[in-house]
Chains A and B, each alone.
Chain A
Amino acid sequence: MLTLLETTTMEERPMTQPPTFAAPTARAEPTAAPVAPSVKMQTEALCAWFGKNKVLQGISLPILEKRVTALIGPSGCGKSTFIRCLNRLHEVIPGAKMDGRVLLDNEDVYVRGMDPVGLRRRVGMVFQRPNPFPTLSIRDNVLAGWKLAGLRPKDPDTLVEKALNQAALWNEVKDSLNRNGASLSGGQQQRLCIARALALEPEVLLMDEPCSALDPIATAKVEELIHELGQKYTIVIVTHSMQQAARVSHHTAFLYMGDLVEYNATDALFTRPADRRTEDYITGRFG
């Protein structure tokens, strides 16, 4: 098994390999738009390294507009690195490199002269552990993307209320907006972080295991939220939990050891996996 995987290196793949997976057909569900969703982001032969350690082996994956795309796979398979390449947060780690292309609305985000700061305002991110700014109030945490960047939103109060509402946190904190952001519970903190990202009205929202530090009730709330947000935003969610991927996502990609093994509509991937490794993983028979 291992030797087989090791031979699947990038060199053997043509650089502009067309997606080998089934074309994303419209899924039979009430919220689906009548027209087929367009591709919001696309990676082409995306490779990434930490020092000499190559963690992504050339991944080509479309990310569809106003859909939830889940990335599943065992620990260390490169899921987090993959989404950190999408908003160019991978490169802030010392020794990290990448190669290949990442397109946002058909524009290469790694092209020379492209400002990662501007990109990150269009592609927001929510992290594994809630990380509200401990020196700021709840309100200022929501406005952090504006205020700390030296910008003034036109109507901050409405913006705060809207973002907190979208993050399903408004009712719990509306009377204590000046309390410290770190005083909230873990699940509330994570929703605060989601509100903070939404306040910038991003086009894409990346979520790196957003529920792994949360208890089941908070997880349920955040999942429900992801499901709702998926109708307005393009969402990419990394998760360890296959149940979670099945619950919230429209499309699922299975990554294994830095390779994209399979990508398909979530239903199809979980009921009729095409690859043996995918089947082993989702049935829990993995190593």
Chain B
Amino acid sequence: MENFRWRKNKDILARWLCLGMVVLAIVPLASVLFDLTIKGFGGLNWAFFTEMPKPVGESGGGMANAFAGSAILVGLSCAFGIPVGVLGGVYLAEFGENALGKAVRFAADVMSGVPSITVGIFVYTVIVLSMRRFSAIAGGVALAILMLPTVMRTTEELLRLVPDTLREAGLALGIPKWRVILGVVLRTGAPGIATGIMLAVARAAGETAPLLFTAFGSNFLALKLDQPVGSLPVQIYTYAVSPYEEWHRQAWAAALSLVLLVLILNILARVLTRQPGKQGR
């Protein structure tokens, strides 16, 4: 009886300890979101998204340059990163049981741990120095390199989840292997791969460090790919460290919209995976 009470108390203690730690973990997350909403929400209006920055001292104006720039950068990074990542993942899953596959897998795992600023320096030396200017392309490449390991590994993992019986079903119907991979394997894994891509994009969209010396930033609506472009994270950084009250307000609003953007991407990713829950057995 005594023993039972002691075990019961241990159980209660452990449970409260877990709960306490969860609360501790949630506090910073919640307070960041709360702070961000309080300080940023006031700055969100139509002009913030559509107008260009005003000179210091004038009130109003927006961050159209940063939104457009971020869109360009994310678009470019998808254009570079998704084909390479998905096809690389297909290679790893379907043909990668050899030395090359192992090497590529290891490289991808190492790359996903490389600090993003290192990638920025790499792109700076390879692209920015040889082009002799900062550019949207350089920024897009830097983000693509950051996306690559995530996209490649999630593609591989998801294709491995596609049961072999489906591959055999395709082959047994006299469908060539490459068509089985495209029409059966990739198609079955597509929702999950889309999720992986969304998460990679969400991560890339919030990167600041690699953009500082690749896309650099711009206060003008630059739509040329070989010119520097603005981006949300860089704009937030520039505005936040400035001494102007008006810019601080806008930095908060930009930070809030960036978080919302990432949130939307994450939700989209979840919806995509949930939808077709049917898997072949």
Contact = CB atoms under 8 A, between A and B. Distances in A.
Given A94-B97, A148-B183, A149-B179, A131 B280 contact: yes
Interface residues of B, number: 26
B175 A145 contact: yes
B45 interface: no
A193 interface: yes
Contacts of A118: 174
Given A92-B171, A120-B171, A148-B180, 14 more contacts: A89-B172, A92-B168, A117-B174, A121-B174, A125-B172, A130-B281, A131-B163, A131-B168, A131-B281, A135-B184, A135-B190, A135-B276, A149-B174, A193-B169
Nearest to B190: A135
Contacts of A281: none
A122 B172 CA distance: 10
A180 interface: yes
A54 interface: no
B179 A133 contact: no
Interface in B165-187: 165-176, 179-180, 183-184, 187
22 contacts: A92-B171, A117-B176, A121-B173, A124-B173, A127-B165, A127-B172, A129-B281, A130-B281, A131-B165, A131-B166, A131-B168, A133-B166, A133-B169, A144-B170, A145-B175, A148-B170, A148-B179, A149-B176, A182-B278, A193-B169, A200-B173, A200-B174
Interface of B: 97, 163, 165-176, 179-180, 183-184, 187-188, 190, 276, 278-281
B173 A196 contact: yes
Contacts of A133: 166, 169-170, 184, 188, 280
Contacts of A125: 172
B278 A134 contact: yes
A150 interface: yes
B173 A127 contact: no
Given A127-B165, A135-B187, A180 B278 contact: yes
B275 to A, nearest CB: 12
B172 A120 contact: yes
A89 B177 CA distance: 12
A132 interface: yes
Residue with the highest number of chain A CB atoms closer than 10 Å, among B174, B175, B276, B278: B174
A87 interface: yes
B206 to A, nearest CB: 32
A197 interface: yes
Given A134-B278, A135-B276, A150-B179, A124 B172 contact: yes
A148 B187 CA distance: 11
Contacts of B278: 134, 180, 182-183
Interface string A164-192: 00000000000000001011000000000
B173 A120 contact: yes
B173 A149 contact: yes
A149 B169 CA distance: 13
Nearest to B187: A135
B32 to A, nearest CB: 40
Contacts of B172: 87, 89, 120, 124-125, 127, 197
A117 B180 CA distance: 11
A257 to B, nearest CB: 25
A119 B173 CA distance: 10
Interface string A96-139: 00000000000000000000011111101101011111110000
